[in-house]
Amino acid sequence: MRPVSITAASLWVVVGLMTSSCGGGPEAPLIDDPGFAQQAERICAKEFPPLRADLSDDEPREPGEVAPTIESRAESVEAIVRTLRGLRVDPKARGPVDAWFADWATYVDVGRRYADALKEGDPERYSTVAEEGLEPQARISAFARANGFKSCALDGAPLPPRAGL
């Protein structure tokens, strides 16, 4: 099995795969709920940076060695989203915010399946699963940026080569 760096293997993780600020990102609905936006920004600004801390580690690792990190990140992201779900949301903003939470749930699910695929060591499978996270990641990021809680956007790691990790 070919070693993979933690940065490349973090294809799915919280730091994101590619950002909607790279151009061509999805249009995001705008909400008028400054209270939610301020609280979400505060929570994400506090909780996400520690999850991004080890992404500069480019030590080669086998995919199966990276899987526990991905699983841990999925648990951490799920906990952050649970906190965000507990915030008060203006009823007029509820639909778009609930859609944003649904994208987070999809993203966490993809992360768990990505970790499972890494354990199996099949580059084609883990690349395919990772790509499933691209669309929800782009929508999560676009919505967060458009509505003033940019710390909730998934920025960071570039995409690894398409041929696998």
Q: pLDDT tens-digit profile of 29-68?
A: 999 999 999 999 999 999 998 887 655 566 788 888 889 9
The type of residue at 83 is: T
CA dist., res. 101 & res. 97, Å (int): 6
pLDDT computed for residue 68 by the predictor: 92
pLDDT at 32: 96
Q: Which residues of the chain have pLDDT under 70?
A: 1-25, 53-58, 155-165
CA distances (Å), origin 21, targets 4, 140, 155: 26, 12, 9
| pLDDT at res. 55 | 52
Paired with 61 in beta bridges are 4
Q: Give pTM, 2 decimals.
A: 0.80
